[in-house]
A and B are shown apart, each in its own frame.
Chain A
Amino acid sequence: MIGTSIPRVGGFERVSGSQQYTADIRLDNALHVKLVSLSCARARIQAIHTADAAAAPGVRAVFTASECPHPMPRFGPVRADRPLLAIFETKFSGEPICVVAADTEDQAASAASLVRVEFEERAPVLDVKSALDPASALVQDPALRPNDPLAHTNILQEWQFGWGSVEQASADLIIEHDYSFPMVTHFAIEPHAFLAAPDANGVTVWSPTQHPYVLQRVVAATLGLPLSSVRIIAPDSGGGFGGKGWPKFEPLLAWLALALGRPVRLVLSLEEAFQAARRTSAHIHARTGFTRNGRIVFQDIRADFLLGAYADIGGRVVSKASYAACGPYRTPHARVLARALLSHTTPSTAFRGFGTPQASWAVESQLNEAAAALGIDPVEIRRRNVPAKGESFIPDDTPADGEWATALERASTAIGWDTKRPAHHGRGISIGLKSSSTASRSVAIVRLHFDGSATVLCGTSDMGQGARTVLTQIAAQELGLAAERIAIVMGDTAVVPYDSSTSASRSTVFMGNAVIRACESITTQLNTIAAAHSVREDAPRGDLLNVHFGPTRGEIIGIGEAGSAFEPSHPLGGRAAFWELMCAACEVRVDPETGAVSLLRLVLVSDVGKALNPRQVETQDEGAAVMGMGHTLMEQLILGADGRILNLGSLDYRIPSIKDIPASFESILIENGDGPGPYGSKGAGEGGTLAVAAAIGAAINEAAGVHLRELPLTPERIWRAMRETERNS
């Protein structure tokens, strides 16, 4: 059971078309909601004329900030800074300033087009430079940031991490460069969809959210309701990647449902989904000191992450990524100064890798630059700096928990690192390391029915990573049942017990352990029952339970809990439960005339402790790597001077298609059973987004003889750099 690639639980529903995603759910009597926004990022709202829209056929409500409760309810997972509808000022292109509810989707859309807005456009803050310019507008009202010394700046928060003394460290070689990482969007094939309806206890919200219990907390807080009045139903999503992690329009929908006393429904277009969530862009200035023989002496990093107009989870993205920015290397002296900056752009949020791909692009590229400058092979320079298993590399945090050098060796061997490269070909290698879940909690309930079958209840969301499958395998293993005898129920806060989140590759480890403990509790209870009835412990369960319960029937319930406690003294509130590590190696060919890149081979090696379902781990690794390839080679949101996204939608925002994947793709899993999860597993599934950019970047730089530090590496940028090199030589 464990370690076998059983078919995906839910696979049949997905291939037959019967899987019900949120937008597929129909509620009787539901009103269709359409959001109204302005075509610019920042404007003073002077008047909103809604009479024509309100009089349009089928329209049941047209609400602006004036119709919302006073004071305007604000929400957010960490800071309650985001209003239900924009008030006084719109702060990013696509922010709703008005909402229309009508009997049909068409009626809502056509009424929305009748809303007239008088507004005065103002200069937006769109990049790091203008966010830091004291002359720029403040994105957030300082009144929203009481007791915050930074309230009169666009710096949401700043951090300093580090150890040793960078100032006093002496190095033989110092490499110093600026790197940039673009705004990219999740582009889940399922755009967000939300439903809300009043119910006997309060309100029910349907959302493809990754974290039903976070959403319950935020909706309850926004509307001033007890948790027991808010039920979240979270159907399996059509792709999350972080973009469906934190509340978006659910608080608005919940309020509307209660205000109108009717179910409401909002399905975003892909364009609207682009304006609902994105990855934090970043500028990273890295100064790295090395000894003559390639050992890292210090890493001095200044990271500016550009958030959107509201905090969302952006601050945590910045702090977590910056804390571990030095990567999987012994760094005697480290200093990381990180800032989270507000801007008039789409609120940035979690996105697979959670800030680490941005840092990794800089730090891994620095190693490649140093290798070239010192005449040391890029594999060798990493070999010299990677900590051994058990070695501490961030003081007072979890030591290296895997054989990371092995990952490097396996990747370099698989790609044939030392073989000759043909003309215009290049190879690159990189290691990505991510701090995983810190303080968190997962609870599972397992019900053993009297016929010996079982139901697992848990708050994890299956967004394609395959949590249903792996948790089923764990329960099957622990209870000695066939997978078909186990039902797994997720995504309903009225039914499943508490879970912090489906994020940070934590579910297999934490929810997996919770399921094991719940199953252990059942086994203990069964042993007690068997002893009481003098039945042999290995007797069939059904027989035992029949004897035990008699004609009344009954069930055995096991509850399991797993997590790690909040540590107030730790900069992140807790040590990493495990480190997620992937080494990527690749070979590319660059067309010397056009700059076009062909990714010929890509090797991925991840240290997963134990692969509970190897095929699922491989597909997660491959998918993450292709996603990483997207931000490396083609993805970027392009903003106009007014802050509008110019490539809004699928025509000009390019993601990798089936013709873009590497010609040869190899996934290798290292399994030493050394993780804290079930059977020695660690979390997986984000690694590919961490390691791929610097590997491809190095390969392109080698193939084209250039030094690119700004993602994405488009053919035009490569061509331009090649011409520059030509001119200089």
Chain B
Amino acid sequence: MNTFQYLRPESLEELFAMMATHGSNARLLAGGTDLLVRLRKGSSKAQAVIDLKRISALRSDVTRTASGIRIGARAVMTDIIDDPPVQEHFPALREAALVVGSVQIRNRATLSGNVCNASPAADTAPALLAYGARINLIGASGPRQVAMDQFFSGPGRTVLADGEIVESIDLALPAAGTGAAFERLTRRHGVDLAIVSVCCVVSGRRARFGLGAVGPRPLVVDDESGILSDDRADPARRDTTLRQLLAAASPISDLRAHDDYRAAMLHVLARRALNAATERMRGRRDTA
């Protein structure tokens, strides 16, 4: 690994000043589980590494807001997985967080970091997209909020401006009777990178899918027709609707899979996620 300066701000003001000084030569360090791999391989170079972990203004927990929950920038996967409101209201996010690397990775990796790396295959992105997450950004010029589906601009790229960071992620509580599920395909049963991942959230007449590893960035597609959310609708019609919806994806071939396999698996996983989500929705309604 090349040498760099390690900076440890304790306030946002200090952070913004450091970011202003080092500009594009600085890398932000939260969990480090992606950054250190890239620094070692030289795919990311840094003159300064700025550690966010001592900034008390950035929270490391999940808090309640008026309309839902807020996940702090420093919250790690393990704590999100164990958080009771997440378990109760966002089971598919929990399922996605559970397959991010190993226990050792999840003890260190932050949700915000996973989002900021903007990997097309990021495991948590489909869930955040499908749940309609909103990202709270903060910079020297103040805070702003961006919808999750506006956040990614390409592989490894986000709409974060220079000097701006993710402060937290907001999730609004789903309406009563919402069902959600996460599905993923990998090359082995153990820890692996996704070939395809899908998160489906069904609520009322709407079925929303977050799709991972099938395009330059994670994407979200919506069906508002009520056909997909109705598991008693004509199966052929549902399948046609689903296929039309998934046509937005543009999978590529890489080391992990060929494009046609990805496309076919996207359909299979989306159907499975939809079925699991509608089943859960029904379960919730029945037990309510």
A and B touch in the complex (CB under 8 A): yes
Do B190 and A594 touch across chains, with their CB atoms under 8 A apart? no
- Within 97-111 of B, Cβ neighbours of A (below 8 Å) are at none
Bound Cα distance from A646 to B253, whole angstroms: 14
Contact indicator B261/A719 (Cβ below 8 Å): yes
Q: What A residues does B268 contact at CB under 8 A?
A: 593-594
Contacting A at CB under 8 A, from B237-283, are 255-258, 261, 264-265, 268
Which chain A residues numbered 556 to 596 have a C-beta less than 8 Å away from chain B?
593-594, 596
| Given A594-B265, A719-B261, A719-B264, A659 contacting B189 (CB threshold 8 A) | yes
> Is B2 in contact with A110, judged by CB distance below 8 angstroms?
yes
Instruction: Determine if B83 is an interface residue (Cβ-Cβ < 8 Å).
Output: no
Of A106, A652, A658, A659, the contact of B255 (CB 8 Å cutoff): A652
On chain A, the residues within 8 Å of B190 by CB distance are 656-660
Chain A residues with CB under 8 A of B185: 594, 596, 715
Identify the interface centre among B3, B185, B258: most chain A CB within 10 Å of its CB: B185
Chain B residues, CB < 8 A from A106: 3
Residues in B with CB closer than 8 Å to A720 are 261
Q: Say yes or no for A638: interface residue by CB 8 A criterion.
A: yes
| The residue from A594, A651, A657 contacting B189, defined by CB atoms under 8 A apart | A657
Residue B188 at the chain A interface, CB threshold 8 Å: yes
Query: Which residues does chain B contribute within 8 Å of A658, judged by CB atoms?
Result: 190
Return B258 CB to nearest CB of chain A, in Å: 7
Beta-carbon contacts under 8 Å, A612-665 to B: 633-634, 638, 646-647, 651-652, 654, 656-660
| CA of A596 to CA of B272, assembled, Å | 15
**Smallest CB separation, A89 vs chain B (Å):** 26
A491 to B146 CA separation, bound complex (whole angstroms) = 63
CA of A658 to CA of B188 in the docked complex: distance in angstroms?
11
A714 within 8 A of B: yes
- The residues in A between 675 and 726 inclusive whose CB is less than 8 angstroms from any CB of B are 714-716, 719-720
Q: Which residues of A contact B256 (CB under 8 A)?
A: 652
- Chain A residues closer than 8 Å to B192, beta-carbon distance: 654
- Please indicate the chain A residues that have their CB under 8 angstroms from the CB of B261 in the complex: 716, 719-720
Determine the chain B residues whose CB is within 8 A of the CB of A634 once the complex forms. 187-188
Name B185's closest neighbour in chain A (CB-CB).
A594
Known: A110-B2, A647-B255, A652-B256. A660 touches B265 (CB 8 A): no
Interface residues of A, count at CB 8 A: 24
> What's the Cα separation between A633 and B256 when bound, in Å?
14
A2 to chain B, nearest CB (A): 37
A85-107: CB near B (< 8 Å → 1, else 0) gives 00000000000000000000010
CB within 8 A of B257: which of A110, A656, A716? A716
Q: Is the interface of B mostly helix, strand, loop or mixed?
A: loop
Is B193 in the interface zone, CB < 8 Å from A?
yes
| A720→B193 CA distance, assembly (Å) | 21
- Interface check B191, CB cutoff 8 A: yes
Q: Is the CB of A651 within 8 A of B188?
A: no
The CA of A634 and the CA of B189, in the complex, are separated in Å by: 11
Chain A residues with CB under 8 Å of B193's CB are: 651-652
Contacts of A660 in B (CB 8 A): 188-190
Q: Which residue of A lies closest to B2 (CB)?
A: A110
> In the assembly, what is the distance between CA of A596 and CA of B189, in Å?
9
A714 to B188, CA, bound (A): 9
List residues of chain B with CB within 8 A of the CB of A594: 185, 265, 268
Judge whether B187 and A714 touch: CB under 8 Å: yes
A-B CB contacts (within 8 Å), total count: 46
Q: How far is the CA of A654 from the CA of B258 in the complex (A)?
A: 17
* B223, chain A: closest CB distance, angstroms: 21
**In the complex, which residue of chain A has the Cβ closest to the Cβ of B256?**
A652
From A593, A659, A715, contact of B187 by CB (8 A): A715
Give A399 Cβ to nearest chain B Cβ, in Å. Answer: 41
**In the complex, what residues of B have CB within 8 A of residue A657's CB?**
188-191
Bound Cα distance A714, B258 (Å): 12
A596 to B187, CA, bound (A): 8
Q: Give A343 to B2 CA distance when docked, in angstroms.
A: 34
In contact, B264 and A654 (Cβ under 8 angstroms): no
Across-interface contacts of A716 in B (CB, < 8 A): 257-258, 261
Nearest chain B CB to A463 CB, angstrom units = 24
> Could you say which residues of chain A place their CB within 8 Å of the CB of B264?
719
Bound complex: CA A596 to CA B265 (Å) = 11
Instruction: Tell me the complex Cα distance, A660–B190, Å.
Output: 6
Q: Which of A593, A598, A647, A720 gathers most chain B CB within 10 Å?
A: A593
Q: Which residues of B contact A651 (CB under 8 A)?
A: 193
Central interface residue in A110, A596, A716, by most chain B CB within 10 Å: A716
Q: How far is the CA of A598 from the CA of B256 in the complex (A)?
A: 19
Residue of B nearest to A646 (CB): B255
CA distance A163 to B218 in the complex (A): 61
Of all chain B residues, which has the CB nearest A599? Answer: B189
Chain A residues with Cβ below 8 Å from B255 are 638, 646-647, 652
Question: Could you tell me the distance in whole angstroms from the C-beta of A34 to the nearest C-beta in chain B?
Answer: 13
Smallest beta-carbon distance A377→chain B, Å: 30
Distance of A593 Cα from B268 Cα, bound (Å): 7
Report whether B187 and A654 are in contact in the complex, using a CB–CB cutoff of 8 Å. yes
Which positions 1-50 of chain B face chain A at CB distance < 8 Å?
A: 2-3
Provide the residues of chain B in CB contact with A598, threshold 8 Å: 189
How distant is the Cα of A651 from the Cα of B191 in the complex, in angstroms?
10
For the complex, give the distance between the alpha carbons of A715 and B188 in Å: 9
A722 CB → nearest B CB, Å: 11
**For the complex, what is the distance from the CA of A711 to the CA of B18, rounded to whole Å?**
52
A247-266 contact mask (Cβ, 8 Å, vs B): 1 or 0? 00000000000000000000
Which A residues touch B258, using CB under 8 A?
Answer: 716
Query: Measured between alpha carbons, how far is A378 from B141 in the docked complex, in Å?
Result: 73
Closest chain B residue to A596, Cβ basis: B185
Complex formed: what's the CA distance from A652 to B3 in Å? 27
- Give the CA-CA distance A720 to B259 in the complex, in Å: 12
Residues of B within 8 A of A715 (CB): 185, 187
Q: Which among B2, B188, B190 has the highest number of chain A CB atoms within 10 Å?
A: B188
Give A453 to B256 CA distance when docked, in angstroms.
57
Q: Is the CB of B188 within 8 A of A654?
A: yes
* Beta-carbon nearest neighbor of A647 in chain B: B255
Among residues of A, the one whose C-beta sits closest to the C-beta of B196 is: A594
Chain B residues near A596 (CB-CB < 8 A): 185
Residues 169-202 of chain B: 1 if any A CB is under 8 Å from the residue's CB, otherwise 0?
0000000000000000101111111000000000
Interchain nearest-CB distance for B238 vs A (Å): 16
CB distance from B30 to the nearest CB of A (A): 20
Binding site for A on B (CB under 8 A): 2-3, 185, 187-193, 255-258, 261, 264-265, 268
> Given A598-B189, A720-B261, list of 5 further CB < 8 A pairs?
A594-B268, A652-B255, A654-B187, A659-B189, A659-B190
Which 3 pairs from chain A and chain B are nearest by CB?
Answer: A657-B190, A659-B190, A659-B189
A/B interface sample: 24 pairs, CB < 8 A: A110-B3, A593-B268, A594-B185, A594-B268, A596-B185, A633-B188, A651-B193, A652-B256, A654-B188, A654-B192, A656-B188, A657-B189, A657-B191, A658-B190, A659-B189, A659-B190, A660-B188, A714-B187, A715-B185, A715-B187, A716-B261, A719-B261, A719-B264, A719-B265
